[in-house]
Structure 1
């Protein structure tokens, strides 16, 4: 008869980490239309929660506990409550790794609350002061663009989307940024830049129906003459 082995504290932490990752993936898979700015990025929180805990630093652990709670609130759609906890981290634990993530996710929380001024402020704070990695930096720039677009500032929004492509050309969000950026330039009657982003976008493999959708939009706005192209 096999002896039942008691789990160590480290193994229990790993189990919690794995559970958090899978729950995050399941939640965002079912809500991709609502969370345009951070698809997949919530996994970064799960990884950070695990890594920061292992550091054993009291201040980092306290910030990490709040981050874990805030991430659950965020994933549950309690954006106002999550914003309070993320702000707590920024106010009291600014020198921790948790603060870098909090600065990004508080921006997303405010975006989902449709408070675009606050969201833009925190996306800029993350990008200018608290950069975590290239993935979140690219998403923060795109977040600024989404906020500006929501406020009707199409030209300024398009500039941010174009900057994502220029600074992070390998980012997974580049196709979306070029797509929305081209539309935003067209809406601002900047036909030259709209065409520039369109020309880049259609060279990306696998865009298919979306490329046709963009082409039709640009035809309607006088950027292109006709929709005669075929896309894979």
Structure 2
């Protein structure tokens, strides 16, 4: 008796008579070929793994080290760094907030916010020493607004452009601030573009009518009267109770008759 046997499969016995011819049907032949191909493929895979096991283990090890490294960085570097940045920024933000509420001493307070005082970090120090932290990101916003209010317009543009907003309100104000800086630099086309970005960032009762009015005035200056009219009419229709609405009829007449 002859036995046809492949690994992992039940042996199939075929009785062979010395005087008879053994005939395998087509299905038996095809099955044998498939088994043979699978075995050859498995053997080649085993050979490749055997030859390259050090490389494979190295890749797995590198992935593991990378994951552990990220977790360690997050736990032992990033979080403490965020905490340190927040602590260092505390006094600078106090000066910034005081400047917003004290028009008389604004310039000196904004400068203290930017450069620090009494041995404490200013906003620029936080940005330079804690780049990549959320505190440094917020410091970019405060620094940009501080420079805008102390008539240093290019610096205002640079720092406000570095700010990545995580809320729609500050996003709108930052973009509008860049528009204000460009207007002061006599670049109305750029200013209008940023006022439009500010309007797209968020709609609210405070900043939206303000930037609609600014966008309309700049559009008038650029002889874009139809665009100006649309901005002013939005104030009249959507923000009738805003301070900007008190002058909107005059602006609408100007846009229609210019």
TM band (smaller chain): 0.5 to 0.7
Return the alpha-carbon distance in structure 2 between the equivalents of residues 67 and 142 of structure 1: 24
Give, in angstroms, the shift of residue 218 of structure 1. Answer: 4.7
Residues 26-45 of structure 1, C-alpha deviation per residue, up to 9 Å, x if partnerless? xxxxxxxxxxxxxxxxxxxx
Backbone CA RMSD of aligned residues: 2.3
User: 1:229 maps to which residue?
Assistant: none
Instruction: Tell me if 1:114 matches 2:151.
Output: yes
2:179–2:190 contact (8 Å) kept in structure 1: yes
**Contact 2:239/2:245 (8 A) holds in 1:** no
Which residue of 2 is the match for residue 103 of structure 1?
140
TM-score by length of 2: 0.58
> What is the Cα deviation at residue 122 of structure 1?
1.0
Aligned 1:40-119 pairs, distance under 5 A: 57-77=79-99, 78-84=109-115, 85-119=122-156
TM-score (norm 1): 0.64
Q: Is the 8 A contact 2:153 2:185 kept in 1?
A: yes
Query: How many matched pairs?
Result: 166
Per the TM alignment, residue 193 of structure 1 is displaced from its structure 2 partner at its CA by 1.3
2:176 pairs with 1:139: no
- The whole-number CA distance in structure 1 between the counterparts of 2:205 and 2:128 is 30
> SS at 1:224's partner residue?
helix
Q: Deviations over 1:99-148 (max 9, x none)?
A: 1210100001101111011001111111xxx3232221111111111111
Greater Rg over alpha carbons, structure:
2
8 A contact 1:215–1:224 mirrored in 2: no
- State the alpha-carbon separation in 2 of the partners of residues 124 and 74 from structure 1: 19
Contact 2:235/2:248 (<8 A) preserved: no
Change (3 A) 1:209 1:225: farther
Give the direction of change, closer, same or farther, for the CA distance of 1:200–1:171 in structure 2 (3 Å limit). same
Query: C-alpha separation between the residues in 2 aligned to 1:102 and 1:208?
Result: 30
**202, 220, 231: which one pairs with 1:186?**
220
- 1:213 is the counterpart of 2:242: no
Is the CA contact (8 Å cut-off) linking 1:202 and 1:211 kept in structure 2?
yes
Runs of 5+ unmatched residues, structure 2: 1-77, 100-108, 116-121
- Distance (Å, rounded) in 1 between the aligned partners of 2:132 and 2:162: 14
**Deviation digits for residues 202-226 of structure 1 (CA, Å, limit 9, x no counterpart):** 2114336633413313534xx1249
Deviation at 1:184, TM superposition (A): 1.4
Query: How far off its partner does 1:73 sit?
Result: 1.7
Partner of 1:167: 201
For structure 1, which segment, 75-84 or 183-192, has the greater mean C-alpha deviation from structure 2 after superposition? 75-84
Report runs of 4+ in structure 1 exceeding 6 Å deviation. none
d(CA) in 1 for partners of 2:152, 2:195: 20
State the alpha-carbon separation in 1 of the partners of residues 232 and 219 from structure 2: 10
